[in-house]
Structures are given as structure tokens and as C-alpha cells.
Chain A
Amino acid sequence: MEKILVCVDGSKLSHAVCDYGISIAKKLDLPLILLNVVEHSHTTKKVNLSGNIGLGSKEDLLDELVNEEMSESKQLIAKGKTILKHMQEYVKSQGQENCFTLQRHGTLYETLDDLSQDLKIAIIGLKGEDSGENQIGSHIEELIRTINIPILLVNGEFKQIESILMAYDGSDYANKVIKETKQSPIFTDVKRHIVNVNKDTTISNKLLSEAKALFAKANIEVQTAALSGDSVDELIKYQAENNLDVIAMGAYSHNRFRSVIFGSFTTQMLQKSKKPLFLFR
């Protein structure tokens, strides 16, 4: 049975993330899982630079590290449990009775990788607990690249999804996005805007009419727009002008090497977008 996964870490966004989870779980009529990951830092605060090793150094060091990590883990577990309990109560109070909690050791992406088979969608707060304002949460890129289920990245307060912006460039990825969003009950009764950014408007219009035709088959009406300029900026500007609630797009279609050299479109969108991103791999 497929489930909706909501990752909570006690950050400011935890409530918003939960609200999106509740809304989607209700639309799809699927159970909601609240996940808290106990992430071990595997680093130590006690640093001993004496640089010597003597009788039983290995054993003593192991003992010391085990004790340190044990107390750290216990704290994290307790903290996570409190958050989960709090959030579960909140979710139930919002009328979503079918809600479970789950606590796992490991990194977020390891955990999602393990669980992804049973998941319909994962919802994650974009700003991790510790990260600053303009930074995307640690490991988010790693996560998006690894997981093959749709991910909703939440970066602000909750708002019912009533309109959606879809970036379309005619690639396989983009077509997949269209296919997914066409069928998904998450997006019934939602206004759709399909946008292509290209210097050559004839290409844009050709692509957009293709996309429009795809939706027409399913009797869905869409608005299209051809823009030119920097794709990231134009998309965000268009989203703001039309006050669209969520941006759907394929993520990291290029390999990592290219992204390192040229910078990734997805990463820039993650950094600049003010609205939640729906990512498909």
C-alpha cells in the first residue's frame, strides 16, 4: 500500500510540511507517515591532540566514542519523539486519522531510499533545521538525485494548491512531469500554466502547443506562455505575477559533472523559488 511521507525535524517549516501532507493525503485517500530521522553526526566534540597511544588506547577510545555518541543519540531520539507526538496530534486534529509515525537512524536520503518503494510522494521542508536563510537544506541535492519518487519541497507557509506552474522544455523529463500531473488526483481542479523559456518564440510555441494537445486529450484546459530570458528568473517572475501556488518540474536531468561545471537549473530554482517545488525524477 502506498503512503504519503512527511519528514519533520522540528524546524519552522514542520507545520507547513504537515499541512501539505494532510491536504495531499486527503485528496489521494492514502495513509500519512510522519518521519523523523535520527541523523548521527559521526564527528566528535572531544578532541584530544596529545597524539600518543598507549596501553589499551584503542579500547579506551572506543569506549569514549561510544559513550559520547550514545548520549547524543538518546537526546536526538527523545527530541524526535516529542516532535512526532506533537505533529501526530496536530495531523489528527486536522481530520486526517490515518496517520503513523516512524523514527529511523541514518541520513534522510538513506532512509528515503530504503522506504521509497512504499511511498507515493515524499514531502520535505526545504530549509533544514540548522541551515541559514539562503542555504538549501543539507543533502537535498543528494536526496533528489537518489530518490525516484516525486518529492514536494516546501519552503514557506502552507497554501491550498489551486494553481500550478509547469516548466516545459519538451524533454523526456518534462513529458514525464506532464504525464504524472495529468493523472494525479493531487491536481484535480487546479489551474495549470505551462511555460517554456526560449530565445526563439516559434520553438516555444511549437513545444507549448504540443503540451497543450497532451492535456486536451484528457480534457484539461491549460494556459501557456512563451517567455525569453534567463529561465530561472523568468519562471520565478511568471510565478509571482500570476500568483501560482506550486512549481512542477523535472529535477537534475543532467549528470552531476555537468552540474558542477555549469551550475544546475534545479539547484538555482531550489535557492530562488518562493513557492513549493514539485520535483520528478
Chain B
Amino acid sequence: MVKTYFKKDEWLGNVKNDALAGMVVALALIPEAIAFSIIAGVDPKVGLYASFCIAVVIAFVGGRPGMISAATGAMALVMVTLVKDYGLQYLFAATLLTGVFQIIAGFLQLGRFMSFVPRAVVVGFVNALAILIFMAQLPELTNVTWHVYALTAMGLGIIYLFPYVPKLGSLLPSPLVTIVVLTIFVYFMGIDVRTVGDMGELPSTLPIFLLPDIPMNIETLMIILPYSASLAVVGLLESLMTSTIVDDLTDTSSDNNRECKGQGIANIFSGFMGGMAGCAMIGQSVINIKSGGRKRLSTLLAGIYLLLMVVFLSDILNVIPMAALVAVMIMVSIGTFDWASIKKLKSLPLSTNLVMLTTVIVTVYTHNLAHGVFSGVLLASLFFANKISHFMYSETSYNENNTVKTYKFIGQVFFNSADKFYKTFDFKEVVDKVVIDLTRAHFWDISAVYALDKAVIKLRREGTDVEIIGQNEASSTVIDRFGIHDKPEEIEKVMGGH
């Protein structure tokens, strides 16, 4: 326990950079936590407490050092109707249950199922997330005065141009500069625009432990269960995808199952401390890596700085114009979007593009990333089955006097190619005997076995004798438990050209 949980290098390997990166991340977390609270329909303090709890707890229990977890847009979108219909207390309860689910997922080692999620779905997920974050800003940009547009444009200008200022540009986080400049500008010019204070209560104290104030019965459970299940899945998907991004950027590896459990533990803390469910954040994690953060310390400090700033600066937070937050969130949305995927649309195969676009469209339509990912994975699997079914063909031959016909099948026979297998037989042809040579075929499932039976029955009805060669070898792939076949020689037995 102690050995795996307190690796010195994972904490203290990069102290100076982690301390700076943690600060940059904390500054960027504040507007995000507020914005995501607004998406979920709760007071900003709920998102801020959540971000603090999750960041601090995940620093200890997460499986990916240097990854930033906090309140996120993906999770906020799932809980909107729960908050609207049942209220905040049910959200806390759902958050706790989400954590329990995620811990169970960790113990069941569900992290390995990430290998079923193809690259195209991951890209679709990231793009859908970016689109959702952007769309969530639209309410702040509709039915407002021109001032808001001007302020937002000004904010974006500062965010993207300030880094070009020599020296200072790479020392001061430009989102912070944006917020400070816009806040001062609005405050002193007396422009009447919406501010953070108009959106709900900000934290004035440290978070305190509280039990959700809800009736403890089956009815409550049935209300929160579907939300918690969705939240657990969305949270784990985004966390595990983000961890692969961080893995790639830092050339290190992470422990997926520990991350699942860690997310669960972090959410349980968040639920008890008056926070909403959260998960890893792609944009923030990229910012952390870019700022030099690598180890657990960066995550921990991000959470602590966040809380200190929020508690002691809540009066100042109140007057931040929403336009500044919108500008920061648009930046997050742009930075999260995978622009290379748009360029690659032309060069990638249609099936890949369809999988990516399906993921995006379903997610944006349902506002639930889990639905998008499931559709994407399903579609990708079907495309894959279709591709593999092309890897089956047959050779036919006759004996000297054309009385015996031999069908030699080569390749993969399974649900999608079973029909093609059956249709290969020429049932109209009159021959004395048909030999079905399966020594080079692989029967993957019961559909394949059924198709063979059907063909044999039909041939026999027509008065043809049927002989099958190599059926045992061909159907040895029907077995479900491949665990015992992991050894090369076993694979050779099953897949070899028997």
C-alpha cells in the first residue's frame, strides 16, 4: 500500500515546475468551475468545491500523475435535468453513487475495456466535448447588449495575443490577464453587464462535511441511479481518454484501474463536501503539461491554490463579468477540439469518418457523451465485422467425370459472412457428391455452424452425398475462452493453416 501510494518520485520529481503549473491551472480552473456550475444549474460554489475536492483527492489516489481532474462540462451536462427536476440534494447523492460505481469499475478492472474504443471514437468524443462546451456559452451570448460581444471579443484578443508580448507573455497566464483586465474595465466604466455574482452564491468558507438531505429509500435510489450510471461512465471515459493524451504528451504510462478507483474516491469526497461529480479535463491537463507540470504535486497544488483564492477573493470573483468567463471557455473549447481531425477527413476512409461524425452528432444531440461513445463503438464494430467478412472466399473443383464437386473454403466465417458462405453453394447443380473442405476456414460463432448445417441439409434433400473435411479444426475457433489460447503455439493451432 504505502509502496504504491507514496512513490517519492511521483510527488517530488519536479517541484519547481509543478508549483508554477499548479498556479496556472488553478487560475484557469476558477472560470471553468464557475461556468460548469452554471451549465449544471447550480451555484458556482458547488463547482468550485467540487474542483477543489477532486483535484486534491485525485492527486493522492489517481493513476495518472500530472492529469487535472475537477468539475467538468461533460459531467455537468448529464446532471442538468436531475438538478432541474429534483434539486441540489439529489445531485449530491447522485455524486456519491457515481463514486461508488466508479470504484466498483476499478475493482472489476473495467479500464481494460478502453481498448474497445477506437481512435475515431476518441477523436469524436473530444470534438463533441469541445462543441458542447462552446454551445454551453451560447445562453450568455444571446439576448444581450452589444457590450457583451465587444467584451468577449476583447477577452479572446487578450487571451491569444498576450502570449506574444515579449517576456511577460510567457510568465503571466493570459486567461488571468483577460479576467483582470475585463473586470477592471467593466467595474470602472460602470458597464451594466452580467457578472459572476448574478449567477449564484460563491463560497465564503472552506467546504464542510455534509450528508445529502434526502429520504433514504428505494424511490430516491431509482431517481439517482440512471444519472449516477451515466455520470460514472462519462467520467471514466473522459478520464481514461485524457490519461492517454497525457501519456502521449509525457511519454510515460498510467494505471487505468487505479485511475477508475481514484475518480470514484474523489467523487465521493466531492459529494460529501457539497460538490458535484467531476472527472479529468482534457484542456486543463494540456495546460498543466504545457506549463511544465508533470507530477502529483501539480494536481494537489492546483486544488489548494484554487480553494485559497476562491475563499479569500470571493468579493472580487463576484464582479467578474460573465463575458470574461465566456472568452476563457471559448478558448478551452477551441483548445480541446482536435483540429487535425478536420484536415484528415479527406485522407481517412469513409468508415472512420462516419464513426467520428456519428460520435459527435449523437453526443451533441443527446448531451450525453456516453451515448455518443456507445454509438461510435457500435458503428466501428459493425464496420470492422464488415471488413473482416471480405476475408472469405471459396475454390471449387470437380473430379475427372464431374460427379464429385469440392468446395474449399478459405477465411473467416461468422455472423456477417455466414450468409455469403451459404450462397456459395450451387444447389441447382446435379452432382453425386459434394465435398466441403473446411481445413482452411475459421468458424467464429454459432451463425457459421448454423449456415453449414443449413447447406448440408439442403444438399442432402437434393439427393447429394455430403462429406465434410476439417470441421473440427475449423470450429475450434468457436470457443469463447481465448485466455488459454494466448500462447503462440496455441494460437498457431487454432489459426494456423491446418
Q: Which residues of A contact B (CB under 8 A)?
A: 40, 42-44, 46-59, 61-62, 65, 69, 139, 145, 255-257, 260
In the docked arrangement, what's the CA distance between A52 and B287, Å? 7
A52 contacts B286, CB within 8 Å? Answer: no
Q: Give Cα A44–Cα B298 distance, bound, in whole angstroms.
A: 14
The verdict on A139 contacting B249 (CB below 8 Å), with A51-B173, A52-B159 known, is no
Query: Contacts of A57 on B, CB cut-off 8 Å?
Result: 286, 290, 335
A52-B173, A53-B287, A53-B335 given; A65·B250 CB < 8 A: yes
A49, B286: Cβ atoms under 8 Å?
no
Structural contact, A49 and B171, CB atoms closer than 8 A = yes
Check if B340 sits within 8 Å of A56, measured CB to CB: yes
Selected contact of A49 from candidates B173, B245, B331, B338, CB within 8 Å: B173
Assembly CA distance A50 to B159 (angstroms) = 9
Q: Which residues of A lie under 8 Å from residue B25 when comparing CB positions?
A: 51
Q: Which residues in chain B, 87-143, are within 8 Å of chain A measured between CB atoms?
A: none
Could you tell me the distance between the alpha carbons of A48 and B173 in the complex, rounded to whole angstroms? 9
Q: Show 12 A/B contacts (Cβ-Cβ < 8 Å), sorted by A.
A: A42-B252, A43-B292, A48-B170, A49-B170, A49-B172, A49-B292, A50-B170, A51-B176, A51-B290, A53-B332, A256-B3, A257-B2
Given A42-B250, A57-B286, A61-B249, A51:B24 Cβ within 8 A: yes
**The one of A52, A58, A256 that contacts B175, using a Cβ cutoff of 8 Å:** A52
Is B174's CB under 8 angstroms from A50's CB? yes
Cα of A54 to Cα of B283 in the assembled complex, Å = 10
Q: How far is the CB of A143 from chain B (nearest CB, A)?
A: 12
Complex interface: stretch among B13-21, B36-44, B227-235, B401-409 = B13-21
Whether a CB of chain A sits under 8 angstroms from the CB of B496 is no
* Least Cβ–Cβ distance between A46 and chain B, in angstroms: 8
Judge whether A52 and B160 touch: CB under 8 Å.
yes
Q: Are A58 and B291 in contact (CB under 8 A)?
A: no
* Interface flag for B196 (CB, 8 Å): no
Is B28 on the interface with A (CB-CB < 8 A)?
Answer: yes
Cβ-defined contact, A51 with B291, below 8 A? yes
With a cutoff of 8 Å between Cβ atoms, the chain A residues found around residue B174 in the complex are 50-52
Could you say which residues of chain B place their CB within 8 Å of the CB of A260?
2
Q: Mark B333-347, 1 if CB is under 8 A from A, else 0.
A: 011101110000000
Q: When the two chains form the complex, which single residue of A46, A48, A51, A58 contacts B245, counting CB atoms closer than 8 Å? A: A58
Tell me the bound Cα distance from A31 to B172 in angstroms: 57
Q: What chain B residues lie within 8 Å of A257 (beta carbons)?
A: 1-2
Please tell me if B248 contacts chain A, counting CB pairs below 8 Å: yes
| Chain B residue contacts of A55, Cβ below 8 A | 334, 339
Asked whether any CB of chain A lies closer than 8 Å to the CB of B251, the reply is yes
Q: Which residues of A contact B3 (CB under 8 A)?
A: 145, 256
Check if A47 sits within 8 Å of B289, measured CB to CB. Answer: no
Q: If A53-B283, A59-B340, A69-B251 touch, does A48 touch B334 (CB 8 Å cutoff)?
A: no
Instruction: Report the minimum CB–CB distance from B60 to chain A (whole Å).
Output: 16
Closest to A43 in B: B14
Instruction: Given A42-B294, A58-B245, A256-B2, answer yes or no on A51-B287 (Cβ-Cβ < 8 Å).
Output: yes
Chain B residues contacting A61 (CB-CB under 8 Å) are 249, 286, 289-290
- If A42-B252, A43-B292, A54-B160 are given as contacts, then 13 extra A-B residue pairs at C-beta distance below 8 Å, sorted by A number, are A42-B294, A44-B292, A47-B17, A47-B21, A47-B170, A49-B291, A51-B25, A52-B331, A53-B334, A55-B334, A58-B335, A61-B290, A256-B2
A260-B173 Cα distance, complex, nearest whole Å:
39
Residues of A contacting B283 in the complex (Cβ-Cβ under 8 angstroms): 53
Q: Which residues of B contact A48 (CB under 8 A)?
A: 163, 170, 290-292
Residues of A within 8 A of B173 (CB): 49-52
From A255, which residue of chain B is reached at the shortest CB distance? Answer: B2
> How many whole Å from B173's CB to the nearest CB in chain A?
3
Q: In this assembly, does B425 line the interface, its C-beta being within 8 Å of a C-beta of chain A?
A: no
Is B9 at the interface (CB under 8 A from chain A)?
Answer: yes
| A43-B13, A43-B294, A256-B2 given; A51·B286 CB < 8 A | no
Q: What distance in Å separates the Cβ of B271 from its nearest Cβ neighbour in chain A?
A: 29
A54 near B291 with CB under 8 A, answer no
Closest 7 CB pairs of A and B: A53-B335, A51-B173, A47-B292, A50-B163, A51-B24, A257-B2, A43-B14
Question: What are the residues of chain A within 8 A of B364 when measuring CB–CB?
Answer: none
- In Å, the complex CA distance between A40 and B9 comes to 13
Residues of B within 8 A of A44 (CB): 17, 292, 294
Partner of B335, one of A46, A52, A139: A52
Give, as a whole number of angstroms, the nearest-CB distance from A74 to chain B: 15
CA distance A43 to B251 in the complex (A): 10
B226 close to chain A: CB less than 8 A: no
CB distance from A108 to the nearest CB of B (A): 12
Distance in Å: Cβ of B182 to nearest Cβ of chain A: 15
Per-residue contact bits, chain B 250-289, to A (CB 8 Å; 1 contact, 0 not): 1110000000000000000000000000000001001101
A10 → chain B closest CB, angstroms: 22
* B20 contact set on A, CB distance < 8 A: 47, 49
Chain A residue, CB-CB nearest to B27: A51
B162 within 8 A of A: yes
> CA of A230 to CA of B174 in the docked complex: distance in angstroms?
58
CA distance A55 to B337 in the complex (A): 8
Q: A55: nearest residue on chain B (CB-CB)?
A: B339
Report A-chain residues with C-beta under 8 Å of the C-beta of B245.
58
Chain B residues with CB under 8 A of A50 = 162-163, 169-170, 172-174, 290
A65 nearest CB across to chain B (Å): 6
Residues of B within 8 A of A58 (CB): 245, 249, 286, 335, 338
Residues from chain A with Cβ under 8 Å of B290 in the complex: 48, 50-51, 53, 57, 61
Chain A residues with CB under 8 A of B171: 49
- In the bound complex, how far is the Cα of B250 from the Cα of A170, in angstroms? 47
Inter-chain CA distance A260–B6, complex, in Å, is 11
In the bound complex, residues from chain B placing their C-beta under 8 Å from that of A52 are 159-160, 163, 173-175, 287, 331, 335
CA A260 – CA B248 in complex, angstroms?
34
Give min CB distance, B116 to chain A, whole Å: 23
In the complex the two chains form, what is the Cα distance from A41 to B318 in whole Å?
A: 42
CB atoms of B251 and A40 under 8 A apart: yes
Give A64 to B172 CA distance when docked, in angstroms.
Answer: 20
Give the distance in Å from the alpha carbon of A46 to the alpha carbon of B17 in the complex. Answer: 10
**Cα-based distance from A65 to B248 in the complex (angstroms):** 10
In the complex, A48→B17 CA distance in Å?
A: 10
Residue of A nearest to B252 (CB): A42
Smallest Cβ-Cβ distance to B333: which chain A residue: A53
A59 to B21, CA, bound (A): 19
